[in-house]
Amino acid sequence: MHFEDLALCYYHSGPCDANSWSSPLLSVGWLEHPHEYSTGVTPPALLDRLEDLIARSWDHYPSFAFRGSHQCSLCAHGSPVGSRATRSHENLWIPGDGVIYLTPGMITHYIGDHSYSPPESFIHAVLDCPDYGSHAYCSALRASNANQPPPLLTNQEVDEKWSRERDQFLARRRPPTSA
Ligand SMILES: [Zn+2]
């Protein structure tokens, strides 16, 4: 799947679709052969931070961790470079300044092994991003989304939503008390 950097992202229905958000959902790192991409040196902290966010995404957003396996088409059409794991199952939502960035987990391979240099605004947003799935992260995501609830719930939020709905359902089923 290829999107130009900072183009609106329409990868998949739900939170991967720009139409689901109140602020622009921007693509970063959706590289595919033979599309050109920017290269350069990135701050070393960037890769570490991305790896950490991806690792935490499995705990908090497991339902968005699987979107099918994907081979790196840059490696497939050239000599494979580097040995960094190609993470193709994760997607990361990074709160930005009035925007949200959506990047595939493969971005660590692109940066580490293909010298990909993502947009400056994205790099800052990643370095500023609170721990993935934390309350601070959820608040930042909401702030980026024009203060509207993001279409992306953590595991815990999903549990709370189900238990609220179950309580409401049971309350409706309760037989009326006789006068
Ligand atoms: Zn590759």
Residues 7/26, Cβ–Cβ less than 8 Å:
yes
Segment 44-70 shows an average pLDDT of 80
| Residue 60 Cα to ligand 1 middle (Å) | 27
**Better-predicted residue by pLDDT, 71 or 9:** 9
Query: What is the DSSP track for the chain?
Result: ----TTSBPBSSSGGGBGGG-SS-EEE-----TTS---B----HHHHHHHHHHHHHHHHH-GGGS-S-----HHHHTS----------S-EEEEE-SS-EEEEETTHHHHHHHH-B---HHHHHHHHHPPSTTSHHHHHHHHHHTTTSPPS---HHHHHHHHHHHHHHHHHHHSPPPP-
The answer to whether 100 and 144 have CB atoms below 8 angstroms apart is yes
Q: Ligand 1 centroid vs 107 CA: distance in angstroms?
A: 10
Percent of the chain exceeding pLDDT 70 equals 87
* Per-residue confidence (pLDDT) for residue 175, from 0 to 100: 72
Task: Tell me how far the alpha carbon of residue 150 lies from the centroid of ligand 1, in angstroms.
Answer: 32
Could you read off the pLDDT of 79-131 as tens digits, one per residue? 666 666 666 678 899 999 999 999 999 999 999 999 999 999 999 999 999 99
Distance 41 CA to ligand 1 centre (A): 17
Q: How far is the CA of 80 from the centre of ligand 1 (A)?
A: 6
Taking residues 74-83, report their average pLDDT.
76
Q: Give mean pLDDT, residues 124-145.
A: 95
**CA of 109 relative to ligand 1 center, distance in Å:** 6
pLDDT at 90: 82
pLDDT band at residue 171 under the 50/70/90 scheme? confident
| The two structure tokens encoding residue 159 | 């549990």
pLDDT of residue 59: 79
Q: What is the pLDDT of residues 92-101, one digit of tens each?
A: 999 999 999 9
The whole-number pLDDT of residue 146 equals 97
Ion ligand 1 nearby residues (CB, 5 A): 72, 74-75
Q: What are the boundaries of each domain within the chain? A: 14-173
pLDDT of the residue at 77 = 85
Which one has a higher pLDDT value, 62 or 16? Answer: 16
Distance 171 CA to ligand 1 centre (A): 54
Closest of 132, 113, 114 to residue 52, by C-alpha:
132
How many angstroms separate the alpha carbon of residue 72 from the centre of ligand 1? Answer: 5
